[in-house]
Structure 1
Amino acid sequence: MAAREINTRPEDIVGEVAGEIEKEGGVLVLRRIHVHYKLRVPDPDEVRDTVARVLEMHVGKCPIAKSLEGAIEITTDVEFV
């Protein structure tokens, strides 16, 4: 966010992660991960487009997401609080 001139403190960003597990051949398999961010900023309308662009790039730049690419679907969204 700082690279996009959105100044936040660690306590201004919270990530909630949920995984979806399915049974395959009697084995539990993680299929999907969804990350829901809660972001506290003074004026959400001022940064909404920039945050959307950051989220679009997020999965492609995240080492964990790149490691899981093709095996587990990863989605993200943001809620301004």
Structure 2
Amino acid sequence: MDETEFMRGRVYGADHEDAAPRPGRRYAELVGGPLDGLLLDVTDGPERQEDGGVALPTEIGRHGPGGRALYAPREAEPLCFDWQGDLPPHR
């Protein structure tokens, strides 16, 4: 199994041993970019940027450790978040 297949359907930010979706929670699928295929728990609403997107810390994006991947919900499909690009670490 390759890394992409391993990550698909797993919850972003969850512990690797327990990354399956949980009953009673709402998830958005991350589409494209370094976190493609992961699920984002949106039950309590993710912390959004001014443009409505979310900046998710990741070590596998363009900027490496400390970088963030920016995703924004699709207008017609709010439970699909499309990759908008990578952001450098906060300074």
TM-score by length of 1: 0.21
**Larger radius of gyration, structure 1 or 2?**
1
Q: Which has the higher contact order (CA 8 A, sep 6+)?
A: 1
